[in-house]
Amino acid sequence: MSRRVVVTGVGAITPLGSTAEQTWTRLKAGKSGIRSIEDFDASGFATRFAGQIAELPQLPPHWEAARARWDEADLLDRKTRLALGAAAEAWAQAGGEHGSTTRIAPPHRVALCLGSEGGRRLLEEVAVRAVRFRDVPIAEVVPHLPRGEWARMRASHPTRVLATELGICGPTRTVCTACTSSGGAIAEALYLVRAGVVDVAVCGGTDTLVEAFMVSGFSLLGALSERNDDPARASRPFDIDRDGFVLSEGAGILVIEAEEHAKARGAPILGRLLGAGLSNNAFRVTDSPPDGAGPATAMRLALVDAGLPAEAVAYINAHGTSTQMNDVSETRGIRRALGSHADRVAVSSNKSMLGHLVAACGAVEAIATVLSLRDGILAPTRNLEHPDPDCDLDYVPGVARVVPGGFDVALSNAFGFGGSNATLALGRG
């Protein structure tokens, strides 16, 4: 029988906060982390706002020395710095110390699985479509595309840095599947712990795509909201007036481990990782399937993996991007996966407040789900004022909801550019 897996540490840096708890507190309060872009001149763009981290947080003193060492070698980019910050929080909560796994497990019994943007290979698709549909001269686009080994190496660089700084000698993985990267990384970590390959895994994701080329590229594709007069109301999943997603940045890291191992060392148990489901739409690269079949498959597989019926699910942390097709596809996918029980399940989207953290979204939203299960509180879907008739579930509009007595099982969805889907089944600790 495979081992049961628990969550013993979480860390997050997002536009809503420099820790997981701070982010969760503001999610519950319905706060928005979306604001006008300040890091570069976006005055000429159709979209001039995003979910930005105003200031990178200070790392603990023993981590600051590591930061300086990598920085001196010009190997510490923004997304790696965010991953370090989130990992420092999660690792400390789980009982770890910098540079060593020995307080948690032998180094070879700890794995690291991290989702990160894949060398920006999808950037070329954005560029080609921008040229094709908006008549942008290709000569203005191509020089900005990272190519070759350096571009590929950048995707796995945060993984290498974290493995070094945590002293992890077990399996390491970098998952690059766009918006499902960190959801897939958490699933990979679950499989390794369950199978007994390791006792502990550090997993999650990091991404920082709020930069001129990405904002302009997605804007040219018509994928981003253009509600420049009111950025806080721009991300509006499941609302009839939604006009695109909001690009964001951040990192989320979880420490997971075999339950018997966590109990033996007296670790805090924040929640349970019950199962995972992965699928592909085999549809178009840029669109979700109208019938929701691919997302439904991921949700069903997660429940099968967890050994749970559809009726066990009380809440779904939706991918909920605020794009026309995704929100409809996800709604239909939930109905296909849960059948009539879908009408009794609460669904909400953290992206209505955080924006879309791309490769990091699955991890940050999984952390929010763990804390939601812990507290018995459902974060709301912000800006849902005029529901789309094709989006007909209970989306917890506007205000957080307290669940009397709490609830035991939730799903957390992530669906990616390129057709990949990842669903995590999570349980109360």
List per-residue pLDDT tens for the chain, 429 residues long: 589 999 999 999 999 999 999 999 999 999 999 999 998 899 989 999 999 998 887 777 777 776 677 766 556 788 999 999 999 999 999 999 888 898 999 999 999 999 998 544 445 455 555 544 455 554 454 444 444 444 444 678 899 989 999 999 999 999 999 999 999 999 999 999 999 999 999 999 999 999 888 888 888 888 999 999 999 999 999 999 999 999 999 999 999 999 999 999 999 999 999 999 999 999 887 778 899 999 999 999 999 999 999 999 999 999 999 999 999 999 999 999 999 999 999 999 999 999 999 999 999 999 999 999 999 999 999 999 999 999 999 999 999 999 999 999 999 999 998 899 999 999 999
Residue 257, token pair as written in the block: 């481990």
The domain that contains 110 carries what CATH number? Answer: 3.40.47.10
Question: Residues near 158 by Cβ (< 8 Å), separated by ≥ 6?
Answer: 79, 80, 83, 114, 116, 174, 206
Q: Please state the domain count of the chain.
A: 1
What is the pTM assigned to this prediction?
0.92
Q: What is the number of alpha carbons within 13 Å of residue 61 lying toward its C-beta?
A: 0
Looking at residue 221, what is its pLDDT? 80
Question: Residues near 425 by Cβ (< 8 Å), separated by ≥ 6?
Answer: 273, 274, 275, 276, 277, 302, 303, 305, 306, 308, 409, 410, 411
Looking at residue 77, what is its pLDDT? 83
Looking at residue 149, what is its pLDDT? 40
Looking at residue 57, what is its pLDDT? 77
Concatenated DSSP letters of 5-70: EEEEEEEEEBTTBSSHHHHHHHHHTT---EEE--SS--TTSS--EEE--SSPPPPPHHHHHHHHHH
The 3-class secondary structure across 61-120, one letter per residue, is: HHHHHHHHHHHHCCCCCHHHHHHHHHHHHHHHHCCCECCECCCCCCHHHEEEEEEECCCC
Domain assignment of residue 141, given as a range: 5-428
The 3-class secondary structure across 235-294, one letter per residue, is: CCCCECCCCCECEEEEEEEEEEEEHHHHHHCCCCCCEEEEEEEEEECCCCCCCCCCCCHH
Q: What is the number of alpha carbons within 13 Å of residue 406 lying toward its C-beta?
A: 13
* Catalytically active residues, by annotation: 179, 319, 356
Looking at residue 151, what is its pLDDT? 45
